[in-house]
């Protein structure tokens, strides 16, 4: 049916089209609409930008600078190689031989008192296995993997450290199990370091049994714990167990002397036995105590009296007076001392 000419005139539009360029001298549409409604056009007022005035010269206003906080001694002197780990030769030597002989197991259990090197040794083992020159018991220290896993490094995406104290539930274990089968991003192995392993729930351990027993070739597990008896037997039987020990006083004293020399702080010889006693064989605890004393050093020197007072020990001179009073049968002298 043909269109009626009268109907087409209904759609005819006079003037420019909707998308045509405006004619020269034409008024804007907004002005036309305002005039039609007899409303004034309000001009757009731009808000002024207020600039903060700079502090005048000689003003008392000062910029407070925060000094860079030094790392704690136990972090600054964390070992990067097995050769730097002290007092654990019964562990470091077999691990080095296993790496040399290409006999590294798929899962390890490091147990022992706190602050004796369990987590540190786990990181060193990961460093040895993923070194570009390795696997080697002596990491090169210059490749990307060694730098990432070294002291002060950012860590490696292929070395996953898990705090079981906060991630020990069965859901966490299932999430770990699912991620195991993905290949490492840039390293030779994907290594899981599970710290505080005794905090993993029984259900969590059961969820890991199969993958710990038969992990992919690119995966290694290292469990670290202070309470190995709380790790279920089916997990312990799937790992090589290495028990760490408290460090002997003589070894620890020599190590602390070396640290004092590095820090260029004079410490009286009678101070270090107090530090070793307070540390109770733990390297980390001993370094924390020494760090406290060095922080309070008087003109770069730590005296016996200062250390005894700060650590809460009875000075030897006072003990000598008490013993002498007992030997002389002087009861009043004992209490007077």
233 and 282 belong to one structural domain? no
Distance CA 270, CA 304 (A): 6
Helix (H) or strand (E) holding 219: strand 219-225
214 and 299 belong to one structural domain? no
Residue recorded with tokens 């003109």 = 299
187 and 296 belong to one structural domain? no
223 and 266 belong to one structural domain? no
Q: Compute the C-alpha angle 99/104/108, nearest 5°.
A: 120
> CA of 200: how far to CAs of 108, 158, 193, 207, 314, in Å?
16, 22, 13, 11, 42
- For the stretch 87-111, pLDDT in tens is 999 999 999 999 999 999 999 999 9
In CATH, what number is assigned to the domain containing residue 173? 3.40.50.300
pLDDT above 70 as % of the chain: 72
CA nearest 82: which of 69, 91, 74, 73? 91
Whether residue 186 lies inside any domain: the answer is yes
234 and 138 belong to one structural domain? yes
258 and 217 belong to one structural domain? no
206 and 262 belong to one structural domain? no
- For the stretch 121-171, pLDDT in tens is 999 999 999 999 989 999 999 999 999 999 888 899 999 999 999 998 999
Which has more pLDDT, 139 or 42? 139
**Mean pLDDT value across residues 70-77:** 88
Coil, strand, or helix at residue 12? coil
pLDDT band at 299 (very low <50, low <70, confident <90, very high): confident
Give the mean pLDDT of the chain.
83
pLDDT band at 203 (very low <50, low <70, confident <90, very high): very high
> CA of 82: how far to CAs of 88, 90, 118, 128, in Å?
9, 11, 12, 9
The pLDDT, as a whole number, for residue 10 is 52
How many domains in the chain? Answer: 2
Residue 138 burial by CB count (10 A; 0-12/13-18/19+): exposed, middle or buried? middle
In CATH, what number is assigned to the domain containing residue 259? 1.10.8.60
227 and 311 belong to one structural domain? no
Are 271 and 307 contacting, i.e. CB atoms less than 8 angstroms apart? yes
**Mean pLDDT value across residues 71-97:** 94
pTM beyond cutoff 0.85:
no
Residues spanned by the domain of 213: 73-243
């Amino acid at each position: 049916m043909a269109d009626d000419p009268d109907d087409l005139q209904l759609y005819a539009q006079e003037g420019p089209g909707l998308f045509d360029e405006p004619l020269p001298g034409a008024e804007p549409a907004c002005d036309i609409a305002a005039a039609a409604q007899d409303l004034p056009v309000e001009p757009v007022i731009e808000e002024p930008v207020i600039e903060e005035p700079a502090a005048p010269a000689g003003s008392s206003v000062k910029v407070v600078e925060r000094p860079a906080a030094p790392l704690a001694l136990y972090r600054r002197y964390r070992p990067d190689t097995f050769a730097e780990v002290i007092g654990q030769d019964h562990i470091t030597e077999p691990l080095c031989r296993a790496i040399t002989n290409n006999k590294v197991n798929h899962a390890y259990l490091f147990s022992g008192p706190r602050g004796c090197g369990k987590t540190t040794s786990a990181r060193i083992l990961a460093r040895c296995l993923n070194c570009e020159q390795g696997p080697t018991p002596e990491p090169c220290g210059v490749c990307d993997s060694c730098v990432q896993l070294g002291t002060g490094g950012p860590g490696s995406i292929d070395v996953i450290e898990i705090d079981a104290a906060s991630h020990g539930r069965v859901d966490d274990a299932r999430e770990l199990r699912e991620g195991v089968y993905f290949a490492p991003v840039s390293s030779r192995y994907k290594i899981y370091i599970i710290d505080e392993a005794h905090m993993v729930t029984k259900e969590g351990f059961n969820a890991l049994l199969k993958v710990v027993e038969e992990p992919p070739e690119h995966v290694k597990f290292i469990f670290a714990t202070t309470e190995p008896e709380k790790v279920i037997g089916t997990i312990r039987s799937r790992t090589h167990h290495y028990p760490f020990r408290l460090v002997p006083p003589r070894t620890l004293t020599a190590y602390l002397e070396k640290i004092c020399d590095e820090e260029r702080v004079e410490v009286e010889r009678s101070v270090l036995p107090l530090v070793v006693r307070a540390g109770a064989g733990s390297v980390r605890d001993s370094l924390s105590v020494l760090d406290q004393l060095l922080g309070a050093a008087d003109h770069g020197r730590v005296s016996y009296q200062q250390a005894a007072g700060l650590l809460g020990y009875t000075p030897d001179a006072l003990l000598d007076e008490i013993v002498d009073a007992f030997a002389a049968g002087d009861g009043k002298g004992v209490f007077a001392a």
